[in-house]
Amino acid sequence: MIVVVGAGLIGLSIAYELSKRNADVRVIEAREPGRAASWAGAGMLAPYTENVVPSAFEDLCVAALHAYPSFARELQACSGVDAHLRLDGIVEAAFDRDQAARLDAHVAALEVRSVPARRLTRDEVRALEPALGPSVVSGAFTPSEGAVDNRRLGRALHAACLARGVRIDERAGEIAIEADTRRVLGVRTSNGFVPARAVVNAAGAWAGMLAGVPDHARVAVVPSKGQMLALAMPRGLVCHVMWAPGAYLVPRDDGRLLVGATVEDAGFDVRVTARGLGTLLDAALSALPALGNLAVAETWAGIRPGTPDGLPYLGESSLSGYVVATGHYRNGILLAPVTAQAIADILEGRSRPDLAPFSPQRAEGRPAAGLPRAAESEETYAAIAKESA
Ligand SMILES: Cc1cc2nc3c(=O)[nH]c(=O)nc-3n(C[C@H](O)[C@H](O)[C@H](O)COP(=O)(O)OP(=O)(O)OC[C@H]3O[C@@H](n4cnc5c(N)ncnc54)[C@H](O)[C@@H]3O)c2cc1C
Half-sphere exposure of residue 92, counting CA atoms within 13 Å on the CB side?
Answer: 25
As for ligand 1, residues whose beta carbon falls within 6 Å of it are: 5-11, 28-31, 35-38, 40-44, 175, 202-206, 210, 226, 228, 260-261, 302, 304-305, 326, 328-334
- Give the residue range(s) of CATH 3.50.50.60 domains in the chain: 2-81+150-221+309-371
For the CA of 28, the nearest atom of ligand 1: 43
pTM, rounded to two decimals: 0.95
Which residue's alpha carbon is at the smallest distance from atom 41 of ligand 1?
210
Model confidence at 371: pLDDT above 80: no
Distance 185 CA to ligand 1 centre (A): 26
Q: Which CATH number fits domain 90-146+223-306: 3.40.50.620, 2.60.120.1270, 1.20.1250.20, 3.30.9.10?
A: 3.30.9.10
The pLDDT, as a whole number, for residue 41 is: 98
Longest pairwise C-alpha distance within the chain: 66
| Residue 144 to residue 134: CA distance in whole angstroms | 27
Kindly report, residue by residue over 99-125, the tens digit of the pLDDT: 999 999 999 999 999 999 999 999 999
Please give the CATH number for the structural domain made up of 2-81+150-221+309-371: 3.50.50.60
Q: Which residues of 92-123 are buried (b: 16+ CB within 10 A; e: fewer)?
A: bbbbeeebbebbeebbeebeeeebebebbebe
The pLDDT, as a whole number, for residue 368 is: 52
- Give the residue range(s) of CATH 3.30.9.10 domains in the chain: 90-146+223-306
Average pLDDT over residues 190-216: 96
Classify residue 182 by its DSSP letter. S
Q: In this structure, are residues 269 and 191 in contact, taking their beta carbons and an 8 Å threshold?
A: no
Q: In this structure, are residues 4 and 169 in contact, taking their beta carbons and an 8 Å threshold?
A: no
Closest of 302, 298, 285 to residue 238, by C-alpha? 285
Classify residue 186 by its DSSP letter. E
Residue 365 or residue 243, greater confidence: 243
DSSP 51-117: TPPSSHHHHHHHHHHHHHHHHHHHHHHHHS-----B-S-EEEEE-SHHHHHHHHHHHHHHHHTT---
Distance 321 CA to ligand 1 centre (A): 23
Kindly report, residue by residue over 287-314, the tens digit of the pLDDT: 999 999 999 999 999 999 999 999 999 9
The pLDDT, as a whole number, for residue 367 is: 61
Which of 151, 330, 339, 376 gets mutated to test ligand 1 (max ligand atoms within 8 A of its CB)? 330
Q: In this structure, are residues 32 and 238 in contact, taking their beta carbons and an 8 Å threshold?
A: no
Average pLDDT over residues 128-157: 98
Q: Are strands 192-195 and 184-189 parallel, antiparallel or unpaired?
A: antiparallel
Model confidence at 56: pLDDT above 70: yes
Q: What percent of the chain has pLDDT over 90?
A: 91
| Residue 176 to residue 168: CA distance in whole angstroms | 17
